[in-house]
Structure 1
Amino acid sequence: MKVADIHKNAYAMPVHNPSYPRPPFRFLNREYFIISYETDIDALRAVVPEPLTVDSGLVHYEFIRMPDSSGFGNYTESGQVISVIDDEGRKAGYTHAMYLDDEGPIAGGREIWGFPKKLASPRLSIDGNDTLLGTLDYGTQRVATGTMGYKFRPLNIEAERRKLADTPNYLLKVIPHVDGSPRICELVRFYLRDVTVLGAWEGPAALELQAHALAPVADLPVRKVVGARHVVANLTLDIGEVAYDYLAPDEALKLAVNQ
């Protein structure tokens, strides 16, 4: 294999049989169930990376059903997004944890953008006739259960579209060197593009998180549920950009000076 061939195909691993195609990725009928809750500020400050700062004590626990995803297929994920302020003073989301049931988007999400993805068993369904139900199992253990009244009240479609399309999203991407030291250590920013919201609702909700050593979602405990929404949308997960390089000497110096 020539050097030019290596460069041409070095977008995914394994090079001869990649787990996913090149981004961006298009999602149709992507279904969000998001429960927003208050947690401990100190717990958030311990996990939110500089230069992001904690906006409030707000965490968004998500169950997301993706039945039609270009390159990734049909899968479900669940996890936590923390409300933050970025270094430009904008309200943003920092993805803290994600658990999903498909190898392709686990590999692609981690390798391209730095999504904190692990293999687990999330589910999103209608329970009985009137309850939207989200669950997350890690192995045989239930670690998260979310419920919401199904389509209780409609939400403004355009307002929900703006939330998805206009909010910057941040990730901490880490790839080690072959000696175990950090080779890539970056704060990555990405946006969702070409967003069309097909439906959006709110309703009464509840969230229960259980302690688990390898799926520690309960380390950000639920103090108070403040709202929940159910959104169905078509959108594109765009390529990302490096917002901050922790290994660049000048960037590291800036953080040290601000301590």
Structure 2
Amino acid sequence: MARIRYGARPAEALKKSSRERSSLPEIWSTGVMAIWETDPEVLAAVLPPPLVPADRPLVRANISGCDINGHPLGAGAIAVRCKHGDIEGDYTLTMPMTTERAVIGGREVFGEPKKLADVKVERDGDSVVATVNRMGVTYIEVRGTVGEELPLPEPRRTLSFYYKFLPAVDGDGFDADPLLVHVTRNERTRSAHAVTGEVILRDSDFDPVADLPVRKLISITLSERTSDQQGFVAERVKADLVLPYIHQRYDDVQQITDDPPPASK
């Protein structure tokens, strides 16, 4: 009988996939990172409990590109600084990605708020422009002039917070209480340059990062980085605490009840 591709995979194939996941290749990305201060009350408003603001109302935007086995990937993240108890890290509001594979892995395993988008980092001489476009809107743009080379930072460990959940089958709440996930990354840098430039936020109904205005630009850098990633469940959070923030994950949480689009003529 011919191989049935929807059929059960043999145990050895499953073991091979597990081994390959545990030893990911070292991938270096080139990207722009911008950090700014925003309004403290705005930052506090976007944090689902039990997360609370950090001492300084910082927003971080990473926009980068890399090559994975000959396939280009654009990736971004917009996150705010906060605390879970006494532990400080970043809460990521959105993670635009250019490929479906990158979206699925992070969303289903860690609860990362990934969405498909057009993500670009373009450098022409000393000029660099990094953009994220979704639904026809370039909602974040970081542009500037590449300047002096910076001393390479020591390897560091970063921490991000995510909520992992699924909407309930009957459309009311969640299937189960959301999981607050901690993801740590061991990050190394092999090149870094200062950038003199600006962060441009454009209004978007689907990705409203413009609600986090740039009150004080702290830094823009262009660098090459690599990192690994590990996650664990820190705690279960009561559904009613997270439910008011579910729209952060989806463009429209009511889309499952929408009528189908009109037929093209």
Q: Same fold (TM over 0.5)?
A: yes
Q: Distance in 1 between matches of 2:48 and 2:69?
A: 30
Q: Distance in 1 between matches of 2:88 and 2:190?
A: 24
Please report how far the alpha carbon of residue 53 of structure 1 lies from its aligned counterpart in structure 2 after TM superposition: 1.5
Of residues 77, 83, 86, the one that matches 1:85 is 83
CA contact (8 A) 1:120 1:137 kept: yes
The residue number in structure 1 matching 2:40 is: 41
The residue number in structure 2 matching 1:174 is: 165
- One-letter code aligned to 1:149: T
The residue number in structure 1 matching 2:181 is: 188
Q: How does 1:44-83 map to 2 (within 5 A)?
A: 44-55=43-54, 56-68=56-68, 73-83=71-81
Of residues 135, 139, 150, the one that matches 1:143 is 139
Q: How does 1:160-239 map to 2 (within 5 A)?
A: 161-162=155-156, 166-180=157-171, 181-184=173-176, 185-193=178-186, 195-238=187-230
Superimposed CA distance per residue, residues 202-232 of structure 1 (whole angstroms, 9 cap, x where no aligned partner): 2323100000111212121222211122221
CA contact (8 A) 1:30 1:66 kept: yes
The residue number in structure 1 matching 2:260 is: none
Please report how far the alpha carbon of residue 51 of structure 1 lies from its aligned counterpart in structure 2 after TM superposition: 2.2
Superimposed CA distance per residue, residues 48-86 of structure 1 (whole angstroms, 9 cap, x where no aligned partner): 12222211211011102122279xx53112231111122
Q: What fraction of aligned residue pairs are identical, expressed as a percent?
A: 23
Q: Distance in 1 between matches of 2:232 and 2:69?
A: 22
- 2:120 aligned with 1:123: yes
Is the radius of gyration larger for structure 1 or structure 2?
Answer: 2
Aligned residues: CA RMSD:
3.0
CA contact (8 A) 2:174 2:239 kept: no
1:84–1:23: structure 2 CA closer, same or farther, 3 Å change rule? farther
- One-letter code aligned to 2:43: L
Q: Distance in 1 between matches of 2:153 and 2:220?
A: 15
TM-score, scaled to structure 1: 0.77
Please report how far the alpha carbon of residue 23 of structure 1 lies from its aligned counterpart in structure 2 after TM superposition: 6.0
- One-letter code aligned to 1:85: K
| Structure 1 residues not aligned, in runs of 5+ | 12-17, 253-259
Q: Distance in 1 between matches of 2:43 and 2:220?
A: 20
Please report how far the alpha carbon of residue 25 of structure 1 lies from its aligned counterpart in structure 2 after TM superposition: 4.3
**Partner SS, residue 112 of structure 1:** helix
Q: Distance in 2 between matches of 1:24 and 1:57?
A: 36
Please report how far the alpha carbon of residue 135 of structure 1 lies from its aligned counterpart in structure 2 after TM superposition: 0.9
Q: Distance in 1 between matches of 2:59 and 2:239?
A: 30
1:92–1:24: structure 2 CA closer, same or farther, 3 Å change rule? farther
The residue number in structure 2 matching 1:243 is: 234
- One-letter code aligned to 1:51: P
Superimposed CA distance per residue, residues 223-251 of structure 1 (whole angstroms, 9 cap, x where no aligned partner): 2211122221222223x1111211499x9
TM-score, scaled to structure 2: 0.76
